[in-house]
Structure 1
Amino acid sequence: MPETSGSGAPAARPHLTGTVVHGAGRGHGLGFPTANIAAGPDSPVPPAAVYSGWVVRHRTGAVHPATISVGSNPTFCDTAEVHVEAYCHDLAEDVYGEPVTVWFAERLRDTVKFPSPAALVRAVREDVRRSEAVLASDHGRRVRDDALAAHRSTITAP
């Protein structure tokens, strides 16, 4: 992926904008509370997978490192509907109803059905570890910087 456009501006990065909504609450019960994001009508949802990225809260401008799941929760087989769920590594407060933008840094793995919730938890722990490494890398920091620049441009635009 190129890092800059022909004009020298930051490259367009995959992202989606939406609102944090209530989900099934399963992530909290598994030890990984997620922000379930209802993508806006003009925000394309990426293919089902687990990603590393950043969540930008529009109201506060805070940027949170995240491990993001896009998929239908196949381990629980309760829906065919695709969900976007972000586990923010450093966020403990309630963000329901908040508009956010999710910036995708790297695809970590396919979405798969696990034989048990315990096996899923083990995989999520590894996903979070890998996500933290990606976000600490030069590439991960560039994605964060682009996310911040994009957010700032929306609040300073006339």
Structure 2
Amino acid sequence: MLVFSDISEVPADFGPSVVTIGNFDGVHRGHQEVLRRVVHEARRRDLTATVMTFDPHPARVHRPLTPLARLCSLDERLELIAAAGIDATLVVPYTLDFARQTPQGFVLTYLLKVLSMRAIVAGHDIRFGWDNVGNFQTLQELGAEYGFDVIAIDDVGHKETGALRWSSTLVRDALRAGDVASAGAMLGREPSVRGTIVAGDRRGRELGFPTANLDVPAGAMIPADGVYAGWLTVSEELSRVAAAISVGTNPTFHGTERRVEAYAIGRSGLDLYGKEAKVEFVERVRGQAVFSGVAELIAAMRDDVAQCERILRGTAGR
């Protein structure tokens, strides 16, 4: 997939294209349906399947004091978009100057001039232009005036949770509640975090459960504190092995720093420091707890590992 980090990188002869616009944070199943439709229309019309997305997230620009946890990094987002079969993605640096465009100015400059758009795939709730004054009807009017098709895509619901539509907000809400199974159902894959393995307190090793401690980038969406069954992948060393994953502050030892630690079940003697790792969350085993002492903690950890093995047995992984 071609990736352009600014309109100046898009070649003059790019396209013509079928385009969709969005943040695509998490690239959940609703996003995936949009991307499938873009690819379908592009192949049917012999055009270039194209995505326009933004970095940083617009909410960070318009509401800088309001935290917004990121479901995936820009690199992960691009990987997932590419996996859907998209030919090219334009990552627009989102600024207030960019946001101040009129709907017509945005369509003329970015979509028609830069991307040579012949058709756009959009939901009925699309908003664009300064103060979000542009909507689906605006697109239809501009399409009639400038000769591009507007292809509507309906909301895709989530029958497992009863939600009328999948959304990044619903995924974040599920993760904040520790409901990684529902989040995974909306994403179409296990929710995950990535980071570099760093040295911790080495307490897990002393207790008989050496863990990989992930230095997760600031702003990443991490599930609620607790213990989870999941998978651990570390560069070339480990490929999706069963893991017991702990998220929290380690209150038994009066910790204050929130950490993500993964114990590779049945693996020992691993030297993983400095390696890039990914943990995928399958199911929550329990919430964070405070134990009366080391013996009680070790007993709980043994039980956690046994439960994780039961949960993961028979699922895709090692």
TM-score per shorter chain, which class? 0.7 to 0.9
Matched, 1:135 2:312: yes
Equivalents in 2 of 1:96, 1:61: separation in Å? 13
**Identity in percent:** 38
User: 1:25 pairs with 178, 202, 220, which one?
Assistant: 202
RMSD (CA atoms): 2.2
TM-score (norm 1): 0.78
Partner of 2:217: 40
Structure 1 residues not aligned, in runs of 5+? 146-158
Matched, 1:82 2:255: no
Q: Deviation at 1:61?
A: 5.6
Equivalents in 2 of 1:61, 1:22: separation in Å? 18
Q: Deviation at 1:46?
A: 1.2
SS at the partner of 2:253? coil
Equivalents in 2 of 1:72, 1:61: separation in Å? 26
SS at the partner of 1:59? coil
Q: Pairwise mapping of residues 1-158 of structure 1 onto structure 2 (< 5 A)?
A: 5=29, 7=33, 11-41=188-218, 43-60=220-237, 62-77=239-254, 79-92=255-268, 93-137=270-314, 140-141=315-316, 144=317
SS at the partner of 2:196? strand
Inter-CA distance 31–61: structure 2 relative to 1 (3 Å threshold) = closer
Greater helix proportion: 2
- CA distances 1:20-48 after superposition (whole Å, capped 9, x unpaired): 10000100000001111111245321110
Equivalents in 2 of 1:131, 1:64: separation in Å? 12
Quick check: which has more Rg, 1 or 2? 2
Deviation >2 Å, runs of 4+: 4-10, 40-43, 58-61
Structure 2 residues not aligned, in runs of 5+? 1-27, 37-83, 85-186
Q: Deviation at 1:13?
A: 2.3
Q: Deviation at 1:102?
A: 0.3
Answer yes or no: is the 8 Å Cα contact 2:232–2:238 preserved in 1. Answer: no
Moved more, 86-95 or 15-24: 86-95
Residue-pair matches, total: 137
TM-score (norm 2): 0.40
- CA distances 1:113-136 after superposition (whole Å, capped 9, x unpaired): 000010000000000000001111
SS at the partner of 1:62? strand
Equivalents in 1 of 2:233, 2:220: separation in Å? 15
Inter-CA distance 57–74: structure 2 relative to 1 (3 Å threshold) = same
- CA distances 1:54-99 after superposition (whole Å, capped 9, x unpaired): 001123462221001101001111x311011111113321100110
Answer yes or no: is the 8 Å Cα contact 2:232–2:264 preserved in 1. Answer: yes
